[in-house]
Structure formats: C-alpha cells, structure tokens
Amino acid sequence: MNIAFIVEKFPALTETFILNQVVGLIELGHNVDIYALHQDDTNKVHSDVIKYDLLTHTHYMVQMPKNYVFRVLQVIWLIIINFKKAPLAVMRSLNFFKYGKSAISLRLFYSILPFLDSQSYDIIHCQFGMYGIVGMRLRELGAIRGKLITCFRGYDISWYVKEFGDDIYNELFSKGDLFLANCDFFRQRAIKLGCEERKIIVHGSGIDCDRFAFKPRYLSCDRQIRIVTVGRLIEKKGIEYSIHAVAEILNNYPNIEYNIIGEGYLKEYFQQIINEFCVEEKIHLLGWKNQQEIIEVLDNSHIFIAPSVTAKDGNQDAPVNTLKEAMAMGLPVIGTYHGGIPELVEDGISGFLVPERDASAIANKILYLIEHPEIWLSMGKAGSSYVEKHYNMHQLNHELVEIYQQVSV
C-alpha cells in the first residue's frame, strides 16, 4: 500500500509513537511518505530515522515570507513553475470566494506545494485532529488523493477543542473516512463532539517491548530506593506534585532518590521548588535523554510516577507512552485518575492511581511501596504482561494495516 502521513513536525523526539508506526509499516512492506508542516532538529534524531533513511521520504511545507509583497512575488514565480503539475489544485487554492482568508493570505497555495509531485495514496493518515483538517482540505483541493484517516491523540481533542470550540471538527467528522483514538476516553470525547460511533475505533500507541526488557524489582543491598519520572516539564505532566510528594517524605526516608527526565518551560520553576525544599541532593532534573539513556535510568529504578493533570487550558493525556515503557520493564507505577491513564494502569494490580493534583496521595502510595517491597515483583509482572498484550507495537502495526485494508476496499 502507498501511505501518506501528515504530521506537525518530523522527526520529533517526543513522538516516537509516530515513528514506530512509520517503521512498522515499512517493515511490513508498505511505502510511506511523510509530509510535515515543520522540520524538527535533525541533529538529534532517533536511530531508526537514520536506519530507514526516513528523511529522504519526508517532505516539508514551504515557508511563507512574512512580508505580503514578497509573498505575492514568490507565489507568481511558484505558479509559473508548478501550474502544469496540478492546475486544478493551484486554481482551487486561490479561490478567495470559497476559502476566504486562507486563500487571500496565500496560505492554502503554500500548503499544496509539497504535494504537487505526489502520487495517489491508498491512505492519508493524519496524526492529530488539527492535521486531519489539513488533510481534508488538501484532498478537497485535489492536491492529494486517498482515503482519509485521522487519529486523535490528546491535546487535539482536549486543549484544541477548548481553544477553538466544540464544532471545530464538524466538517472533518462529515468528510473523513475513518477516525482513530488512542484510548476509549478520547473516543468517547470525539463521539460527544459529533463523530459517528461507527466511524471511530480505538487503536493504541504501541511501544517496542523488545527494547524495554522486563527486570524483577527488589530492594537493593544499599537500601537505596530510586524513583523516576519521564516526561516534558509542562503543566499537564503534573510533575510539580510528585516533587512535593517526594520532598514530603524525604525527612523520614532519606534513602530516596528521585530522577526526572525531560525538558520544558517549567524547568526553572521545578528547580526553584527543589531548592526551596533543600533537596537538591535527592531530587534531580536530568534534562533530555535519548531512548537508550532513558532505558538505563529505568533499569536502575524501583518506582515510576506519572502524575498527569488536566492543564488549565484543558490539555489532557492519553495512556502515557513513558508509563508503558516503565511498566514493560517491570516497575510498579503510580499514576492519576486522568485522561486515558486508568485504561493502562490497573489500580492495586500493576500500580496505584490517585486523584489529580494530590501530592499527599502520591506520597502515601510511595510510602506504601517503600514499606511493602514484596509487592514490587507481582505489580511489575502484571504491568509488563498488560503492556505486552495491549501495547506491543508489532501487533498494533499489523492491526493498523488491517484497518487500512478495510477502509481502502
């Protein structure tokens, strides 16, 4: 099959779930082209980007000059050299009467340029709802052809809807061929917004379980207990509350070490909290790490915390991939009753769930795990088994191909 992915940026280090699908489809013998609105930092890329030479299959949107006069002059030249490739798409993109500001600003014209040399695709797979709208418009213009599938993943069905209104996806729901949601929580949200039940199914984000090998967790000889969180340092990850929780119990349990992996705009604020509690020697902001470095930290840890919260702007999480990775490696986990996390963590079986923004509840569960290390192994086994059964990317990629085949019939 010929498949086009439409994404915000590529390669994106924080979106390995997209990379996993691209690589999986290629390994299953399918052709994949990637269309990205923006180019991410290519100096830091996942090894699979190089291994599969993905940048040669990636096409980027042409950036518009900010100056409108320069933009018009450039468009005149671009029309001259591109008109023969797709005359109807070019003309439709300039239809001011139908598309208003999008056409007047010439944004629509610029959006079609990467597609003028493209072939017809069996599937146009748009990652995140707002890029489903982009794919819908491109198909309507005649710049790209194929069945349109849009995947909702989190902020697109939470923050984006709150920002632009409950009717933002109405046209997409009507014109799209199929919709995916990475958890039932967001599937139900889409249905409530107007998506037909028969047109949306749950298809989870997979991880490579072979890379995240299970390891039994026991209390180490030095009695040191290493806790870890992996996630962007942004509001919805809720890391402020896990910092407070660990700081709260350090006086009674000084053998705790808490490592936080990730970057984000709240880094200085978190460091300030750590400094105020005078726990710099116990709570560490490790910054960005590549996948192998993350695996090494997880391998040497005992407990994983994913304290996600609903951000003030409405942003919410699906079942968090870093949480899946920790569970696959056998760590007992602490998560929150938030978004899709309860679909991943079985409370009392593979870990514990606590209310959002409740540092004391997190502290209580940490204390319970510290005082009952005998349950680490059973929780770790339960979590690893659940992830292997429901989130193995190889299995999910086979399912994705079956979904494509059903839609393309």
Query: What is the per-residue pLDDT across 317-373, written as a single tens digit (0 to 9) for each?
Result: 999 999 999 999 999 999 999 999 999 999 999 999 999 999 999 999 999 999 999
Residue 309 pLDDT exceeds 80: yes
- Report d(CA 147, CA 132) in Å as an integer: 12
Half-sphere exposure of 258 (CA within 13 A, CB side): 26
Q: What would the pLDDT profile of 263-272 be if each residue is shown by its tens digit?
A: 999 999 999 9
CATH-assigned architecture of domain 2-206+392-408: 3-Layer(aba) Sandwich (3.40)
Give the model confidence (pLDDT) of 104-125 as tens digits: 999 999 999 998 887 789 999 9
Query: Residue 14 pLDDT more than 70?
Result: no
What torsion, rounded to 10 degrees, do the Cα atoms 62, 66, 68, 69 define? Answer: -90
Tokens representing 176?
Answer: 């799209």
Nearest residue to 18 via CA among 296, 400, 328, 307? 400
Average pLDDT, integer, range 129-134:
96
Matching residue, tokens 């069945």: 147
Under DSSP, the state recorded for 114 is G
End-to-end CA separation in angstroms for the chain:
12
- Kindly tell me the sign of the dihedral angle through the C-alpha atoms of 32, 35, 41, 43: positive
The dihedral region occupied by 38, where left means phi > 0, alpha psi between -120 and 50, and beta the remainder, is beta
Topology (CATH) of 225-390: Rossmann fold (3.40.50)
Please, which residues have CB within 8 angstroms of residue 301's CB and are 6 or more apart in sequence? Answer: 226, 227, 228, 259, 326, 331
CA distance 343 to 185: 8
Q: 76 Cβ partners below 8 Å, 6+ apart?
A: none
Say what the pLDDT of residue 306 is: 98
Asked if pLDDT for residue 197 goes beyond 90, the answer is: yes
The single residue listed with the structure tokens 């009392």 is 348
Which residue from 220, 277, 214, 210 is spatially nearest to 243, judged by alpha carbons? 277
pLDDT tens readout for residues 163-189:
999 999 999 999 999 999 999 999 999
For 259, phi then psi, to 5°, come to -110, 130
| Structure confidence at residue 42 (pLDDT) | 63
Q: Within the chain, which residue ranges are assigned CATH 3.40.50.2000?
A: 2-206+392-408, 225-390
- pLDDT over threshold 90, residue 406: yes
3-class secondary-structure state, position 270: helix
Q: What is the structure's pLDDT at 164? A: 96
Distance CA 358, CA 74 (A): 54
Contacts made by residues 218-223, CB under 8 angstroms, sequence distance 24+: 218/373, 218/376, 218/377, 219/302, 219/373, 219/376, 220/302, 222/255, 223/255
pLDDT in tens, 34-44: 999 887 666 66
In angstroms, the CA 214 to CA 4 distance is 34
Instruction: Report the distance separating Cα 88 and Cα 340, nearest Å.
Output: 43
Q: How far is CA 331 from the centre of its chain?
A: 22
What is the mean predicted confidence (pLDDT) over 395-407?
A: 96
**pLDDT in the model for residue 231:** 95
- What is the dihedral angle through the alpha carbons of 349, 354, 359, 365, rounded to the nearest 10 degrees? -20
Helix (H, G, I), strand (E, B) or coil at 353: strand
For the segment 206-230, what is each residue's pLDDT rounded down to a tens digit?
999 999 999 999 988 778 999 999 9
